[in-house]
Amino acid sequence: MAASLTSSPAETPTARLTDSHGRVIHDLRVSITDRCNYKCVYCRTGEVGAQYPELGIDEYLRLIRLFVSLGITKVRLTGGEPLLRRGLVELVKELASLRTFSGDPLDLALTTNGHLLDGLAAPLKAAGLDRVTVSMDAVDEATFERITRVPGSFRAVLAGVRAAREAGLTPIKINCVLLRGFNDDQVEGFAHFARQEDVVVRFIEFMPLEEGRLWTPEIVVPLREIVERMGRVLPLVELAPREPSETARRYTFADGKGEIGIIAPVTQAFCGACSRVRLTSDGKIRTCLFSQVEHDLYGRMRSGADDEELRHYIFRTIQEKEARHHIGESGFLKPSRSMVHIGG
Ligand code: SAM
């Protein structure tokens, strides 16, 4: 059922979160810190540290509960680097006990650079985490560390991926952002890596969300090119989408072993099927990665709003979700926060 645009603060929202374009919003991404221990060249300049305050773990929990009571079925914890956040395991434990609108357990995932995952995979699984996505932008050690700018990072992340598999945080997804001239020679290596390590590799087109000024249309390696190049190493077969809001175009190899996904927000935008909303580490709602406005949910909570008032605020904010992004169009404006400070 669509949420009513005329819902007044006196009414209790009973409908699921739906925006004014008819999209049902069921996927919440929560940044729990904007600190990061990597300085990936396409994300950070290396000169900017954490910029925004973090909420207490109990405060994130309260806000996430409100979203879940309004129909969120999937929560992904992210950052910054979420494994740097103290209290993460306790937060996961609390979230794992929540039930969705329809009484099912919440789908609970985490996106990480994997640097600290070796030691945390087992405790996170025991606390109730379902899955992890690990970011890896190269399968070659030297290229990997040229991107992260952290010596020893390749081995740490590989150990993290293997620990996640051992712990059962599966299927493990690997996120790779390809940039022409930096790491686009890694495409073929990732085909073998996906099969050897039994992981789903997902290439993400580079979006203009970096701290510096690196993005140009030419640096983006488009979906079409990735499929062509990967197919030359091992033939690919496209898989049918599992749900309409799925962002990745999925492929398997011709022998059925292994999976590759390509997320193409730049060359094949999927805004019409977007089901996402984001909460930043300082408690602002962002209805789109490219929003020009933020909605201060935490500010209302701090000034004493009760749960019903906060639920109304969330409900009304979602209705303002943007129809689409405008990457590549004249007049495109970069958002005031970069990816690391929004939560990817
Ligand atoms: N630190 C964690 C990690 O490395 O996965 C979580 C935060 S990071 C910002 C989340 C994801 O966003 C990573 O997979 C990263 O590669 C991706 N990312 C960062 N900047 C991006 C950009 N400009 N375009 C596309 N993806 C980007």
Domains observed in the chain? 9-342 (3.20.20.70)
Residues 223, 109: Cα–Cα separation, whole Å: 25
Give percent of the chain with pLDDT exceeding 90: 83
Q: What are the pLDDT digits (tens) for 138-171?
A: 999 999 999 999 999 999 999 999 999 999 999 9
Q: Which of 51, 174, 177 to mutate to test the pocket of ligand 1 (most atoms within 8 A of CB)?
A: 177
pTM above 0.75, yes or no: yes
Q: How far is the CA of 208 from the centre of ligand 1 (A)?
A: 12
pLDDT at 10 over 50: no
Out of 18-32, 95-109, 322-336, least confident range: 322-336
Q: How far is the CA of 98 from the centre of ligand 1 (A)?
A: 27
User: What is the rounded average pLDDT for all residues in the chain?
Assistant: 93
Segment 122-150 shows an average pLDDT of 98
The residues that bridge with 74 in the sheet, in sequence order, are 27, 107
Atom in ligand 1 nearest the alpha carbon of residue 340: 9
Atom in ligand 1 nearest the alpha carbon of residue 134: 5
State residue 66's pLDDT score: 97
- Adjacency order of strands within the sheet including 284-286: 236-238, 248-253, 259-263, 200-205, 173-178, 131-135, 107-112, 74-78, 27-31, 276-279, 284-286, 295-296
Residue 133 in contact with residue 175, Cβ under 8 Å? Answer: yes
State residue 13's pLDDT score: 66
Q: How far is the CA of 207 from the centre of ligand 1 (A)?
A: 10
Residues 273, 244: Cα–Cα separation, whole Å: 6
Residues 287, 310: Cα–Cα separation, whole Å: 16
Q: How many beta carbons lie within 10 A of that of residue 259, not counting itself?
A: 21
**Residue (of 139, 222, 153, 134) closest to 185 by Cα position:** 139
State residue 7's pLDDT score: 43
Residues whose beta carbon lies within 6 Å of some atom of ligand 1? 36, 42-43, 78-79, 81, 111-113, 135, 175, 177, 204, 206-207, 209-210, 339-340, 344
pLDDT at 338 over 70: yes
Q: Which of 30, 85, 339 to mutate to test the pocket of ligand 1 (most atoms within 8 A of CB)?
A: 339
State residue 6's pLDDT score: 38
Q: How far is the CA of 112 from the centre of ligand 1 (A)?
A: 9
Atom in ligand 1 nearest the alpha carbon of residue 205: 25
pLDDT at 106 over 80: yes
Q: Judge if the upstream peptide bond of residue 9 is cis by omega within 30 degrees of 0.
A: no
pLDDT at 12 over 80: no
Q: Cα dist. 17→12, 27, 156, 275, 307 in Å?
A: 13, 10, 39, 10, 16
State residue 189's pLDDT score: 94
pLDDT at 4 over 70: no
pLDDT band for position 116 (50/70/90)? very high
pLDDT at 287 over 80: yes
State residue 231's pLDDT score: 87
Q: What are the pLDDT digits (tens) for 168-211?
A: 999 999 999 999 999 999 999 999 999 999 999 999 999 999 99
pLDDT at 9 over 60: no
Segment 267-294 shows an average pLDDT of 95
46 or 284: whose pLDDT is higher?
A: 284
| Residue with CA closest to ligand 1 atom 12 | 344
Residues 250, 262: Cα–Cα separation, whole Å: 7
Radius of gyration of the chain (CA): 20
Segment 95-117 shows an average pLDDT of 95
Q: How far is the CA of 339 from the centre of ligand 1 (A)?
A: 7
